Amino acid sequence: MKLTLWTYEGPPHVGAMRIATAMKGLHYVLHAPQGDTYADLLFTMIERRNHRPPVTYTTFQARDLGADTANLFKDAARDAFARFQPQAMIVGASCTAELIQDDPGGLAEALALPIPVIPLDLPSYSRKENFGADETFFQIVKALARPVARTDAMTCNLLGPTALGFRHRDDVTELTRLLAAMGIAVNVCAPLDATPADIARLGAAHFNVLMYPETAETAARHLEKALGQPFTKTVPIGTGATRDFLDEVATITGLPVPPETGLRQPWYAASVDSTYLTGKRVFIFGDGTHAIAAARIAAREIGFDVVGLGCYNREQARPVRAAAKAHGVEALITDDYLEVEAEIARLQPELILGTQMERHIAKRLGIPCAVISAPVHVQDFPARYSPQMGFEGANVIFDTWVHPLVMGLEEHLLTMFREDFEFHDAAGPSHHGGKAQLRAGAPVDAAEASGGDISAKMKGEATDGAEVIWLAEAERELKKIPFFVRGKARRNTEKFAADKGVTAISIDTLYEAKAHYAR
Amino acid sequence: MSLDAPLRSCRDTPVLKERGQREVFCGLTGIVWLHRKMQDAFFLVVGSRTCAHLLQAAAGVMIFAEPRFGTAILEEKDLAGLADANAELDREVARLLSRRPDIRQLFLVGSCPSEVIKLDLARAAERLNAAHAPHVRVLNFSGSGIETTFTEGEDACLEAMVPALPGTTTPGLMVVGALPDVVEDQMLALLSAIGVPNVTCLPARRSQDLPAVGPETRVALVQPFLGATHAALVKRGAKAIPAPFPFGAEGTTLWLHAVAAAFGIPLDRVEAVIAAPRARAERALSTVSETLRGKRIFFFPDSQLEIPLARFLARECGMVPVEVGTPYLHRELMAPELDLLPEGPTLSEGQDVERQLDRVRAARPDLTVCGLGLANPLEAEGLATKWAIELVFTPVHFYEQAADLAGLFARPLRRRALLGEAAE
């Protein structure tokens, strides 16, 4: 038993719903109690889908438990087939139905429906949403994909995009364009917008593009083994990864890599306005795939300092640990958001790249944040074209990550005029909402009221263990440091003081520490 | 408007009873508003990852403070041996209470999986009460989907509190049902001006203010879904005050009339107190209801508020109910409402969502009240919708909110008119 306040992932049957809802012509009959239908609103509200997920729930109640829940399931499956006429059906149980052991697979088989019926066995008490999606897609592919002749022209399948995926819709468009520029057509994109009939002709493609290992790695491995289709290992998120991906595709197909078009990110990072991004301390957390990609972009394409890296899906723990090691940090593998929050509070990064959960943590701690990964929120489905993959994805990511920060020249000016009565950091980034606060008379009061809540909030936690105290004058001096580096200054000074055995921090200690850490 | 019963009401309208797929929340959802109301209470669901995910989805991220609810997620080893599950539960509760010393009431909330494996939360509550009294009172109720539909979770929670209420022989009024504080304060001011003695509320905002109950206690419900709590209070000797529910100017007036009559307070005293707020509410309603007049409305079953709201919209806003669905029809509590609701709509109880969708598509009402899972798909089919859940979360009771309540229904229609061309 584990106490959970907020979760990164839903139960595995929600993963199955992400596959079913992404596809067309597939229906999911889910043995589940009344109330489990809440999951529909994830799709209709967060993703603004204009159709209900193709899911029939048996919605049994207490009175049914004494009677015959098995027949309830059979009736629901029969009615769903008659009403929706799907090409194929997946059947399974949610957590409660798993306990009553009605065997939806066996019951559905007994109905002898004239379509493929694929049973799902998703252990609700040990696995989670991503597993459910990956396993469901694998079972569908295993049941339906058969050897077929390869297409004459060079084609591939795009594997992994689902409903409720982080920018999956636009990633598909971007990759389709990128591959088209190499002369490669998409045979089938699945599960997003694929029908069961499309799954049956997956084998016509020459190779597979594994877009998201979270949702399609098992299927890609199966297709490699069963149909001899190689699959790409690089996830093309970021400039470098996109180039590596194109090289990988070139190796598989023997086609030349086309000239790059539309890529602006490297020049934007190189231009002098971006100087201020150098060495900004970033904390990265998300699903394994997006977190690893983000760390590479942060360190090598924007010039940030990766101070923390982790993921919530244990399935990706190994590659995330390896990536963390390469960045010189210890990986944080956890699905407990309180643990993530504590780590962020401890590290005091200047930017958080995370999920919607980290966005809230960031808001509470007063740290800028950009979202890089599921779990998704309504704002992760923008009306505009906004991919993460490919060269346009690299452009989008640059803009997205820089936006939460103070603008480049603005930050330099704030540093130069730090104590100016109008042009001070409590005014906040000029391109964000919120009213600029006037600086009050006493410097200490002003700092309490300012955006400098990193130091205010972190004070207790940062000093408690160390038993280092700040003298009033040093505390005042610290408040003069712009808010976006104040956390780092406090942390460095305290570490410096602790290392030197200093228990009371004076102005001198502050500046000695500054000199010590100068680079 | 008239407070008289219509010529022909829905009292004897046959009810269409449906059984099939139900597109409704389970009772756990009530935690989302109950934990805001009871500010020193923690709600610990003993359930699965699905329960945690539901609460997160239903609560949205609006209240992403460290919330006063959580889920103790059952894992495989808990299913293997119930003795271990109990030990684990005790451990998690001890850890939780040590981290949150501000908690004075802990509700162990049963879920579908905990009910199916027959985890005895009543005994667990007893055991934990002994361990953590007097600082923390531990109670239990079930919010499982197999036993409760959406708002029935609040009913189960309040019912669980009844045995712990102190006794009394003093005459007084107990108002039952969680109201937003601002609305509760308005109501208390009205009742005090009318001269109703010893008014208390269940649930109380803080655990030390538990209301007392006894043979001289009169009970008035402000929410229609509290049948079990009502019965439990009557069992403890309290006397019921049958009345329509205080939605709209008329509903509020009739509710206050009934309460005053129960205490022998003369009608003219009531009229003197309510004259101004009632006139204000009617004036505000007359503006808002212009958008609603003559429009046809269809209710999917959701919260049991459907019949009182249909009555309000029909009688005070001129709407025409086509179908009024309710997850459960409590005949006794709903009798005063059915007497007022003009004959005409189909009354349905329970749900077979696919068949109900067929009916709504055939009826093509001007406004459909439904859950969030159905709203966008119906909008995409060209039907204007109102999210039912907002009717439970928003302050809608009594005079000052009467026009706000009508406004919740008018806004989708006004919005549709505004976007008319772009949406084509």
What's the pLDDT at B111? 97
Q: How confident is the model at residue A514 (pLDDT cuts 50, 70, 90)?
A: confident
Other CB atoms closer than 10 Å to residue A499's CB: what's the count?
10
pLDDT at A477: 85
Inter-chain residue contact A4 with B52, CB threshold 8 Å: yes
Q: What integer pLDDT is reported at residue A65 of this predicted model?
A: 87
Q: How confident is the model at residue B67 (pLDDT cuts 50, 70, 90)?
A: confident
pLDDT in tens, A178-198: 999 999 999 999 999 999 999
* Residue range B131-140, pLDDT digits in tens: 998 899 999 9
Q: Give the Cα separation of A191 and A220 in Å (integer).
A: 12
CB-based contact A4 B71, cutoff 8 Å: yes
**Candidates 3.90.550.10, 1.20.1250.20, 3.40.50.1980, 3.60.15.10; CATH matching B27-148:** 3.40.50.1980
Instruction: Give the catalytic positions of A in this structure.
Output: 273
Tell me the residue ranges of DSSP E strands in A287-408: 305-311, 331-333, 351-354, 369-371
Between B325 and A495, the higher pLDDT residue: B325
- CB proximity A67 to B under 8 Å: no
Q: Which residues of B touch A52 (CB under 8 A)?
A: 373-374, 377
DSSP A37: G
B67 touches chain A (CB under 8 A): yes
pLDDT at B60: 67
Interface A-B, measured as beta-carbon pairs within 8 A, has a size of 179
Quick: pLDDT tens for A265-312: 999 999 998 998 999 999 999 999 999 999 999 999 999 999 999 999
What are the φ/ψ torsions at residue B357 (nearest 5 degrees)?
-65, -40
- pLDDT mean over B138-163: 96
Contacts of A125 in chain B (CB under 8 A): 48, 74-76, 78-79
B169 CA: distance to closest CA in chain A (Å): 38
pLDDT higher at B314 or A431: B314
**Cβ pair B150, B25 in contact under 8 A:** yes
What pLDDT does B49 receive? 95
- pLDDT exceeds cutoff 50 at B406: yes
Give the gap in angstroms from C-alpha B404 to the nearest C-alpha of chain A.
Answer: 24
CB contact under 8 A, A5 and B115: no
Is residue B102 left, alpha or beta, with left meaning phi > 0 and alpha meaning psi from -120 to 50? alpha
- Answer yes or no: are the C-beta atoms of B273 and B190 closer than 8 Å: yes
Chain B residues with CB-CB distance to A6 below 8 A: 52, 56, 64, 67
Q: What is the CA radius of gyration of chain A?
A: 26
**B contacts of A9 (beta carbons < 8 Å):** 49
Say if CB A324 and CB A284 are below 8 A apart. no
Give A2's pLDDT tier (boundaries 50, 70, 90).
Answer: confident
> What is the per-residue pLDDT for A420?
58
Name the pLDDT band for A433 (thresholds 50, 70, 90).
low
Please report the domains of chain A, with CATH numbers, ordered by start residue.
12-129 (3.40.50.1980), 155-253 (3.40.50.1980), 265-402 (3.40.50.1980), 408-517 (1.10.8.550)
Does the pLDDT at position A449 exceed 70?
no
**pLDDT attached to residue B215:** 97
pLDDT of residue A176: 98
Picking from A48, A61, A95, the nearest residue to B113 by CB comes out as A95
Q: What percent of chain A has pLDDT over 90?
A: 72
Q: What is the full DSSP assignment across B110-178?
A: E-HHHHHTT--HHHHHHHHHHHHTTT-EEEEEE--TTT-BTTHHHHHHHHHHGGGSPB--S-EEEEES-
* For B112, nearest residue in chain A (alpha carbons): A96
Comparing A318-322, A436-440, B190-194, B326-330, the range with the smallest average pLDDT is A436-440
**B238: pLDDT confidence band, cut at 50, 70 and 90?**
very high
Mean pLDDT calculated for residue range A476-502: 82
pLDDT digits (tens, 9 = 90+) for B7-60: 789 999 999 999 999 999 999 999 999 998 999 999 999 999 999 999 988 776
Q: Residue B66: what pLDDT?
A: 66
Domain map (residue ranges) of chain B: 15-22+285-423, 27-148, 172-283
**Model confidence band, residue A456 (pLDDT cutoffs 50, 70, 90):** very low
User: A33, B112: Cβ pair inside 8 Å?
Assistant: yes
Query: Residues 6 or more apart from B170 whose CB is under 8 A from it?
Result: B198, B212, B214, B216
CA distance B181 to B204: 10
| B3 compared with B245, residue with greater pLDDT | B245
A361, A337 in Cβ contact below 8 A? Answer: yes
Rounded Cα distance between A413 and A346, Å, is 29
pLDDT confidence of residue A172: 98
Q: Are strands A155-159 and A351-354 parallel, antiparallel or unpaired?
A: unpaired
Domain B172-283, CATH among 1.10.1740.10, 3.90.550.10, 2.60.40.1250, 3.40.50.1980: 3.40.50.1980
Among candidate residues A101, A46, A108, the one with its CA nearest the CA of residue A73: A108
Indicate the length of chain B as a whole number: 424
List the single range of A401-410, B5-14, B287-296, B327-336 with lowest mean pLDDT.
A401-410
The answer to whether residue B266 neighbours chain A at the CB level (below 8 Å) is no
Q: Which of residues 318-377 of B touch A (CB under 8 A)?
A: 354, 371-377
Whether residue A445 is predicted with pLDDT greater than 90 in this model: the reply is no
Tell me what pLDDT residue B229 has: 98
pLDDT at A419 over 60: no
* 3-state SS, residue A147: coil
The per-residue pLDDT of chain B, averaged, comes to: 93
Contact A11 B53 (CB under 8 A): yes
| Lookup result for tokens 């239903």 | B58
DSSP 8-state assignment for residue A182: T
pLDDT at A488: 76
Any CB–CB contact under 8 A between A48 and chain B?
yes
Cβ of residue A382 closer than 8 Å to a chain B Cβ: no
Using only the alpha carbons of chain B, give its radius of gyration: 22
Q: Give the pLDDT band (50/70/90) at residue A58.
A: very high
Q: Give residue B64's pLDDT.
A: 53
Closest CA–CA distance from residue A203 to any residue of chain B (Å): 34
What does the pLDDT read at residue A289?
A: 98
User: What is the CATH code for B15-22+285-423?
Assistant: 3.40.50.1980
How far off is chain A from B171, nearest CA to CA, in Å? 39
Q: CB distance from B113 to chain A under 8 Å?
A: yes
Average pLDDT of chain A is 89
The tally of CA atoms less than 13 A away on the side-chain side of residue B145 is: 30
pLDDT digits 0-9 by tens, B72-97: 999 888 887 776 788 989 999 998 99
| pLDDT for A468 beyond 80 | yes
At A368, is the pLDDT very low, low, confident or very high (cuts 50, 70, 90)? very high
Q: Which of B22, B23, B29, B50 to mutate to test the interface with A (most CBs of A within 10 A)?
A: B50
Please check the confidence at residue A447 and state whether its pLDDT lies above 50. no
Compare B84 and A342 and report the one with higher pLDDT: A342
Band (pLDDT 50/70/90 cuts) for residue A12 is very high
CB B407 within 8 A of CB B322: no
Q: Is the pLDDT at A444 greater than 50, yes or no? A: no
Q: Which residue has the tokens 């780092």?
A: A488
| Percent of residues, chain B, with pLDDT higher than 90 | 84
